[in-house]
Structure 1
Amino acid sequence: MQKTLYHCIFSLLIFTLLFSSCQSDQRKKSDTTYPIIALDALGDTIRLTKPAERVVSLVPAALDALYMLHADSAIVGVPNRSYTDPNVFPYLSKLDPRIKARLIASPTLSESGMSMETIIKLNPDLVIIQSNQTDAIQMLKELGIPVFGITSQNFGQLNQEVLNLGILLGKETRAKELIAFTDRKIQVLKERNKNIRNKKTIYYAWSGGRIYSTTGRKGLINDCFEMAGLENACPYEIDAPNISPETLISWNPDILLLWNTDESVLYQQKELSSLTALKEKKVFNLSPPFLYDPHTLKIVLASIAIHHYSYPTAAAATLNAEQLEILSALYGEEKAKLILQ
């Protein structure tokens, strides 16, 4: 009986070793068959046999990243707002003549809707989509289409997504160059911020006149404030809280930051007339929005612009010069000059 027990244990060990060896061989074979491997925001692994050559981006920020990665030729599908948003179309038209001529297909029907039929006809080898659109992601996967889910909830994640997109497009070296450049600019900002003894407070109002919708201490906008050497007036540890006029008055921020909203909207709010920022006309509008999109690597340009406005005496160079430098590094000098025309 003891011999039988030893025999069983020995057989089990042999089976385990063979099974592990088989799994290892399968992994090696998979890595050889799919040499391009990256992770998306959902933690899902995307495996490609070769760099993506036909990419549909349903996320505006990701489309912007493709141009920064110099992957223009791979773009076969863009978000609908690339054509419909007056704050976006003029700039993308300068980056890509196909956008200007409206030659690139748009599979999106709205911000959240899409035409699966159009996507299939485009025969993409990669689709970039918001990570919260789980049903669409599952459907695309079932169709055998590689999907990259994107969310960019903070600066670290933004960098990681740019790097992973670079890997999938065969532009890893370019992605690392972009990340290294923005990191250097942020370090310069941090050096400037060391001289700030009393940080100013800032309040952010979302686009479209949503004055009482703001950003909490999580997310890219808050990262932007920290890079700029400012303190978020909103103390809540959430991404996008809604508040009351009374709450905003109690915070009484030094600066009010608007995004794609006319400043007159604030001054028309009689209940806010006691705010110091309104009395001292410390209202700053990040405009044009395309240049300062914090959901892209242009977050560094947004941070510098906010810093320039908030601490004008601490500014080491003119904003215009820094605009050209940063946009040249992100898109290339020729396209940067076109954008700024």
Structure 2
Amino acid sequence: MRHVFLLSALLVFLSACGPGRQQRKEGAITLTDVQGHKVVLNKPAEKVVCLFDPMMDAIFMLQMQHTLVGIPAETYADKELFIPYSLIDDRIKNKRLAIPGSNETANLESIIALKPDLVIAKHMSEGTIKALGEMSIAVYLASSEKYEQVLKELADVGQLLGATERAAELVAYTKQQFEMMQSAAAAVREKDRKKAYFTWANGRIYATTGRNSMMNDCLEFAGVSNVCTAPVDQPNVNAETLISWNPDMIVMWNDPAVLFYAKKELSAITAVKQKAIFNLMPMFFYNPHTIKSLTASMRIKAWAAGEAPETSLEEVKKMMIKYYGETNGNKLITLL
């Protein structure tokens, strides 16, 4: 009998150590990213290299910025990122956090030297992902291109960092706000909707947003019609096309309205004649590739309705405090 008992105990022990048991133990995290890669962690990540700025933003909203050991290079190079982040993280202010890559590139040796549990990026080659995996470094790829993706990726990162409750809170709040906005938009008759033209930053007034984009989602949530019907993300148009669209309002991404007013050929456009040109500035507060697409939509909705700009700006401030927490939120709104 004693031999039977010992044999049974040995079988139980071997079963516990068998293939696949590691992933099933209590606390294991397994999910699939936007590119279909399986991401596995035995416990929430404690050291994170994030090379994609919308995901870094999500980490700050989750109040898990202490896990960051590496950030995108553009955080220091782009003042639109550096100024707000330096207000809420002294490591960024003093440029102490490593920058082992950016949205488009990753320095494998620099990443490995930081000994992270998790790397978050937008693009990464299969070879790099495999090499990191062999060193027990998980890789999560994000895209943040559409509303549902933004919510899923926020929830995923919350799970990977052990901040599921905070992620659920942010997702629920954002969904609730957008649902109220959708209800209001649905009540507006099609013929009464403002026709809006959106233009990206850095003087690119003929670079707009098509129907397959997060900014198009923002326009729809705001209850306005996107004059561009192209089924792509960021098409380029010409002056003749813009004139033929004749938008009622123009929404600019971090650029001055004078770029339109200075062009005589555009003077007959309704939005130009009526000075209905509005600016999402500073862009940090309206990034459509984060849940701050809510603030962008809310301001566009207010502009379309002719509301006082101060009223919607106060709403943005409240949302920033909700998204970043009382302490960091109040620091950030000093920039508005």
Q: Do the two structures share a fold, i.e. TM-score over 0.5? A: yes
Does the CA contact (< 8 Å) of 1:34 and 1:47 recur in 2?
A: no
Q: 1:112 is matched by which residue type in structure 2?
A: E
Q: 1:178 is matched by which residue type in structure 2?
A: L
Q: Distance in 2 between matches of 1:124 and 1:175?
A: 22
Change (3 A) 1:269 1:142: farther
Please list the CA deviations of residues 215-256 of structure 1 after superposition, one character each: whole Å capped at 9, or x if unmatched. Answer: 111111011111111111101111121112111111111111
Q: Distance in 2 between matches of 1:29 and 1:132?
A: 26
Q: Is 1:239 aligned with 2:256?
A: no
Q: Is 1:291 aligned with 2:285?
A: yes
Deviation of 1:196 after TM superposition, in Å, equals 2.5
Change (3 A) 1:44 1:308: same
Q: Is 1:183 aligned with 2:189?
A: no
Matching residue within 326, 331, 334 for 2:327: 334
Q: Distance in 1 between matches of 2:22 and 2:136?
A: 20
Change (3 A) 1:275 1:156: same
Paired position in structure 2 for 1:38:
31
Q: Distance in 2 between matches of 1:26 and 1:78?
A: 35
What is the SS of the residue equivalent to 1:284? strand
Q: 2:260 is matched by which residue type in structure 1?
A: L
Change (3 A) 1:29 1:112: closer
Aligned ranges for residues 78-157 of structure 1 at < 5 Å? 78-108=71-101, 111-131=103-123, 136-157=128-149
Q: 2:290 is matched by which residue type in structure 1?
A: T
What is the SS of the residue equivalent to 2:25? helix
Please list the CA deviations of residues 3-25 of structure 1 after superposition, one character each: whole Å capped at 9, or x if unmatched. Answer: xxxxxxxxxxxxxxxxxxx9xx7
The more displaced of 128-137 and 83-92 is 128-137
Change (3 A) 1:136 1:234: farther
Q: 1:232 is matched by which residue type in structure 2?
A: N
Paired position in structure 1 for 2:10:
none
Paired position in structure 2 for 1:69:
62
Q: Distance in 2 between matches of 1:176 and 1:282?
A: 37
Change (3 A) 1:134 1:204: farther
Paired position in structure 1 for 2:261:
267
Change (3 A) 1:254 1:155: same
Deviation of 1:280 after TM superposition, in Å, equals 0.9
TM-score by length of 1: 0.87
Alpha-carbon RMSD: 2.1
Q: Distance in 2 between matches of 1:338 and 1:216?
A: 34
Deviation of 1:83 after TM superposition, in Å, equals 1.2
Change (3 A) 1:154 1:248: same
Aligned length: 316
Q: Distance in 1 between matches of 2:65 and 2:172?
A: 21
Which ranges of structure 1 fall in alignment gaps of 5 or more residues?
1-21
Deviation of 1:33 after TM superposition, in Å, equals 7.5
Does the CA contact (< 8 Å) of 1:53 and 1:125 recur in 2?
A: yes
Does the CA contact (< 8 Å) of 1:37 and 1:48 recur in 2?
A: yes
Please list the CA deviations of residues 38-96 of structure 1 after superposition, one character each: whole Å capped at 9, or x if unmatched. Answer: 22111211110110000011011100000011101101111111112111111101121
Q: Distance in 2 between matches of 1:271 and 1:136?
A: 50
Deviation of 1:258 after TM superposition, in Å, equals 1.0
| Percent of aligned pairs with the same amino acid | 37
Which ranges of structure 2 fall in alignment gaps of 5 or more residues?
1-14
Q: Distance in 2 between matches of 1:99 and 1:33?
A: 35
Q: Distance in 1 between matches of 2:266 and 2:134?
A: 52
Q: Distance in 1 between matches of 2:124 and 2:185?
A: 36
